[in-house]
Amino acid sequence: MNILVICSDTFRYDHLGFVGRQPVATPHLDQLAKESASFSDFWLCSFPTLVNRIEVFSGRYTFPLVDWGALPFQFPVLAEVFKHHGFGTALIADNLHLMQEGFGFGRGFDFVRDVPGQLHDPFQPASEPMIELPCAVEKLEPKPNRLERYRRNAHWYRQKNTNPTETVFQETLRWLDQPPDKFFLWLDTFDPHEPWDAPQRYLDQYPWNPSGDKVFWPHSGKASRYPMADLENMRSLYKAEVSQTDFWVGQLMAHLQKKNLLESTAVIFCSDHGYYFGEHGMLGKPLKGQLSRPTTIYEELGHIPLLVRHPAGLGAGQALRGLCQPPDLFATALELAGIPKVRWAQGNSLLPRIKGQPGTQRFAVSGCHPHKGQVSCLTVLTDTWCLVYAPAKGLGGAELFHRPTDPAQTQDVAAQNRPVAEELFALLVSWLEELQVPAARRKQLLHDADFGWAERMKHRVWLLRNRWSYQRNYRDYARGK
């Protein structure tokens, strides 16, 4: 069976139209959901973008051990496993972070297409004209040189009456015109990640407050920085990007049908994280330094879409409850393709759940990699509870939410349920120990302890040893031999 993964960056779960939580038009994703198993409790583990891709490509829980950066050499990654088993592999992406030179996320792919021009990609020369800004520059987050790069890129695309999102999908359609006999294709589309600049036809279907500005790339941090009218317009700009992504997913599905590939291809639609639009007083994906508190993963940031369309119609139209996380995609893709599972992957295949078996994951952990030594809050979830643990404050400063009655996580009940908070914290500690996170790193993550130069050097040595071990043990495997 062929495997096609569509990873849409920064796509909130509640912006799937069929979920019914937001007034957003996603008719093609709604149709895909009717043909797919929809996992209603898919939560990120490692935040943000690159740490998530490391996690999915490796099948291993990542943020406690690996920082933002290159794809580490430790074990063969997903594309290498598929290649080893005779699949043609392709990566098509307009994700600037993923395609950064030297980061190595194309490892194992026979074909890599880097669609340029997103964000501040140095795609167009300084001589290229720039688009006009629709709002005051002070309202926009990027530094001047990055904003100018974006404006030149956007001008070039608009002169050609297209944009990176359309281009990355069109490149995918072209590749699918003559695919290998069996293939693994990863499509990484950057939208609905900011900057929000979908064509006007997608924005026209959403409300617009004329008293607000078109802040298409806002500062992450406190939502109170912007007036309510600006926030309302940001939500519409984001929804327009969601609808643009939805349109191209529909074009892709129609192309698969036209090429008679739907009967032999499993389609997975997923994301890496969400975005705050004023919930909990936050905007964007704020890291520590943009707020007085560490990065915190609540519902709007941590709950993400996962649709799995099986050619035989298994689980079609069913919303499957129960926690699952990005490392599960590795094992799921292998089982769907008929490839034996590998011993180093830590996630669990979701195919048994699609076939009607209950889930086995008791709890989930979400967190951000230690950004420049600044640790994040850690979120621990069960089917019933959500603990948000702040390392600098300990359990006394933790928040606890009852998920069935408070899905938006607005009513902290930690004071009334201290034993529950302690139990969830114990699960967190045991999880870090099970992952064999070094003691110094555990102290950093759990108690905001200093991770000094000696520990950083040990971590670098660990990465180098992994690379040497990889070359010794898996070189031929990774080459598909």
* Each residue's pLDDT tens digit, 48-106: 999 999 999 999 999 999 989 999 999 999 999 999 999 999 999 999 999 999 999 99
What are the tens digits of pLDDT across the range 185-226? 999 999 999 999 999 999 999 999 999 999 999 999 999 999
Backbone phi, then psi, for 79, in 5-degree steps? -65, -35
What is the pLDDT, as a whole number, of residue 455?
81
Residue with tokens 């298994």: 314
Average pLDDT over residues 239-259: 98
Q: At 342, is the pLDDT very low, low, confident or very high (cuts 50, 70, 90)?
A: very high
What is the pLDDT, as a whole number, of residue 474?
86
CB count in 10 Å sphere of residue 128: 16
What tokens does 133 get? Answer: 């800004």
What tokens does 105 get? Answer: 């996320």
Q: 293, 273, 288: which is closest to 389 by C-alpha? A: 293
The structural domains of the chain, ordered by start, are 2-361 (3.40.720.10), 365-478 (3.30.1120.10)
Strands (E), 205-323: 221-222, 265-270, 276-277, 282-284, 306-309, 318-320
Task: Say how far residue 3 (Cα) sits from the centre of its chain.
Answer: 18
What is the pLDDT, as a whole number, of residue 460?
81
What is the pLDDT, as a whole number, of residue 182?
97
3-state helix, strand, coil in the chain (%, to 5): 35, 15, 45
What are the tens digits of pLDDT across the range 153-165? 999 999 999 999 9
Q: At 452, is the pLDDT very low, low, confident or very high (cuts 50, 70, 90)?
A: confident
Is pLDDT at 373 greater than 80 in this prediction? no
Is pLDDT at 247 greater than 80 in this prediction? yes
Longest dimension (CA), the chain: 63
Q: At 469, is the pLDDT very low, low, confident or very high (cuts 50, 70, 90)?
A: confident
Can you tell me the distance from the alpha carbon of 251 to that of 246, in angstroms, rounded to the nearest whole number? 9
Is pLDDT at 239 greater than 70 in this prediction? yes
Average pLDDT over residues 473-481: 77
Q: Are 12 and 303 spatial neighbours (Cβ–Cβ below 8 Å)?
A: yes
Is pLDDT at 354 greater than 80 in this prediction? yes
What is the pLDDT, as a whole number, of residue 290?
65
Q: Are 110 and 91 spatial neighbours (Cβ–Cβ below 8 Å)?
A: no
Q: Which of 40-49, 299-308, 371-380, 401-410 has the lowest mean pLDDT?
A: 371-380
Kindly report the pTM of this predicted structure: 0.96
| Secondary structure of residue 429 in the 3-state scheme | helix
What are the tens digits of pLDDT across the range 4-13? 999 999 999 9
What is the pLDDT, as a whole number, of residue 294?
82
Q: At 289, is the pLDDT very low, low, confident or very high (cuts 50, 70, 90)?
A: low
Q: 15: left (phi > 0), else alpha (psi -120 to 50), else beta? A: alpha
> Which element (helix H / strand E) includes 473?
helix 453-478
Q: Which of 344-353, 368-377, 390-399, 437-446 has the lowest mean pLDDT?
A: 368-377
Is pLDDT at 389 greater than 70 in this prediction? yes
What is the pLDDT, as a whole number, of residue 470?
87
